[in-house]
Each structure stands twice: as C-alpha cells, then as structure tokens.
Structure 1
Amino acid sequence: MIANRREVLSTSAKVASLMLASGLFGQMAHASGPAAGKGAFDAKTMADMAKALGYGAPAESKDVSITAPDIAENGAVVPLGAATTLAGVKQMMLLVEKNPSVLAALFNVSPEIEANFSTRVKMGQSSNVFAVAITNDNKVLFAQKEVKVTLGGCGG
C-alpha cells in the first residue's frame, strides 16, 4: 500500500518511464514551442501563421470543432478545446485573434492518438478563437467561435 505523496509520485514516475521505454505511449502529443517556428508565434493573423508554418490558405470546415465558453468570466484562464474526426491530421492549433500572439497552442498529432485537445489560455479582450487542423497534405481547416471576456486577462 502506498502511504504518502512522495511514494505515489515515485511509483508514477517509474511506471511512466517503463511505459515510455516499452513504446506503450507511442509518439505523445505535446504543445510545441521552438519546434513550431518562431514566425508562427509572431504572426498576427491566421493566414500569417499558416504561411509562417508553410501551409496553404485556411478554410472553414464542419469536420473541425471548437469548445469554448460564450462568456469567459476571467480572461486569465479561458478553457478552450479543439477536436476533429478527420483522418490524416498532423497538427491541431488553438488561435486567439486579438491576443498579442495569435497562436495560443500547437499540438503535434500522430496516428496513435485521437485529435482532441484542451487547455487554458489567457485572453486580454473579447475575441474570435479558432480551432485549426492541419492535414498531412498541408490543408488548413478551422472552426471559429466568439468568446466575450468580462474580467482582465492579458491586459489587466
């Protein structure tokens, strides 16, 4: 029996290490930083971001879905989600149109995992948010939703 938090953490780390070493996790999804390309995080629009990553023009699609509140009571922690049922998706992104950096999160997708991600982002003001799916043939498909922010985020 595990008695304390230290033992739980130690046991969890050992199990995770064994699973990674044996390949049970496959290629894990992760939010990208420098691997996403500095230009993508500096982009001010979705089209600029797609261009910085070397992709085509964005197109709205019913196969991509976004989960976001209609009204965010606190702009410092706004829950957002992106999902798609499309096959052959290599990346999923969450974009916030009026943030200083439009690219809020980028997730690499492998065939072993479901393209369904969620996170929390900071929003300085009411804005359109986008869930974007990039396919293996570099098509950029997206869904959008307006989120109204009632309390400060990035700016306050």
Structure 2
Amino acid sequence: MSNSRRTFLIQSVIACSGVIAPRLAFADWAEDHFAPGKLDRTLDRLYADATIVESDAIALKLPLIAEDGAVVPITVSSTLGNVESIAILVEKNPVPLAAIFNIAPETEPFVSAHLKMAETCDVIAVVKSGETLYSARQQVKVTIGGCGG
C-alpha cells in the first residue's frame, strides 16, 4: 500500500469519527422539552400534571433590569434537601425552557448561567426535591437585544 493511500485512509477514518461521535453524545437529548411553545405547555411536557409549590427556599439572583437581553446572568441556589434537578424557564421566550440541570446526590444545589431573553417577563426556577416540585420567580425588565433582535 502506498504512503498516500495509507494517509488518505487514516484521514478518512478520523473525519468519519468526527461525524459519528456527536450523534452518540446527543443520544439522550430530550428534544420535545426544548420545543417552541407557551410556558404552560412546556411545564406540562416536563412535569405532566404535578403541582408546583412556590418556595422561599429557592434563591434567584437576577438583575431587575437587563441592559442587554442577549446576556442575562442568573444564579439559582436552594436550601432544600435531596435536590435532583433545577430547571430555568423564561416565560415569554419562543422556547421557554432555557436550561435544566441534573444535580448529583450530596452536592450543593447551585447553578449559574447566562440567559437570552426575548422581552420583559418572569424568569422561573423549578427545583425537584424528592417527589415535590418547588419554584421561585422574578421579573426581569429587558431594555435591548434578546431573542427577538
């Protein structure tokens, strides 16, 4: 086998592995959770008919006014025990579910991220602790940018 043929075969295998590997990484992607729609529909897809209880045990750290809706910082923490997940939803975004984080057992329920917001609306954090869902919300006023422009 010539050296150029061997090089071609090696490069082909490397290129194909770059196409296959991402598909395996996204095998468990919950595409319907991140589908466009209204907030109520998204909550139904995520939690079916479960009752969500407002709680002071969830701390949201968000700006009251976001100068740029394209980059809105958020921090969510909780004093609840046995937290399994934290979901962040933006009420009036085309896709309300911004992120969902699975929290490993015996770790601090704390997440920090940046959101993109379409317009002024509530940001909601839903925390799953055991079999119960808790939430907290805060309105953020968006002045420019965001999902819409």
Deviation of the 1:36 alpha carbon? 6.2
Q: Tell me how far apart the structure 2 counterparts of residues 104 and 54 of structure 1 sit (CA, whole Å).
A: 15
| Contact map agreement 2:82 2:106 (CA 8 A) in 1 | no
Structure 1 match to 2:108: 114
Q: Tell me how far apart the structure 2 counterparts of residues 131 and 54 of structure 1 sit (CA, whole Å).
A: 13
| Contact map agreement 1:83 1:131 (CA 8 A) in 2 | no
Identity, in percent, stands at 39
| Contact map agreement 1:82 1:93 (CA 8 A) in 2 | no
Structure 2 match to 1:26: none
- For the residue of structure 2 that corresponds to 1:155, the secondary structure is coil
Q: Tell me how far apart the structure 1 counterparts of residues 85 and 28 of structure 2 sit (CA, whole Å).
A: 12
CA-based RMSD:
1.8
Q: Within 5 Å, give how 1:1-156 maps onto structure 2.
A: 35=28, 37-42=30-35, 43-45=37-39, 47-55=40-48, 56-137=50-131, 139-156=132-149
Deviation of the 1:35 alpha carbon? 4.1
Structure 1 match to 2:16: none
Q: Tell me how far apart the structure 1 counterparts of residues 75 and 112 of structure 2 sit (CA, whole Å).
A: 4
Runs in 1 of length 4+ with deviation above 6 angstroms?
A: none
Please, what TM-score do these two structures have when normalized by structure 1?
A: 0.71
Check 1:54–1:72 CA distance in 2 against 1; reply closer, same or farther (3 A cut). Answer: closer
Unmatched 5+ residue regions in structure 2? 1-25
| Contact map agreement 1:81 1:94 (CA 8 A) in 2 | no
Please, what TM-score do these two structures have when normalized by structure 2?
A: 0.74
| Contact map agreement 2:74 2:112 (CA 8 A) in 1 | yes
- Deviations 1:95-136 (Å, cap 9, x if unpaired)? 100001111011001123210111001111111001110122
Q: Tell me how far apart the structure 1 counterparts of residues 67 and 78 of structure 2 sit (CA, whole Å).
A: 27
The residue type paired with residue 143 of structure 1 is A
| Contact map agreement 2:51 2:133 (CA 8 A) in 1 | yes
Deviation of the 1:50 alpha carbon? 3.4
Unmatched 5+ residue regions in structure 1? 1-32
- For the residue of structure 2 that corresponds to 1:53, the secondary structure is helix
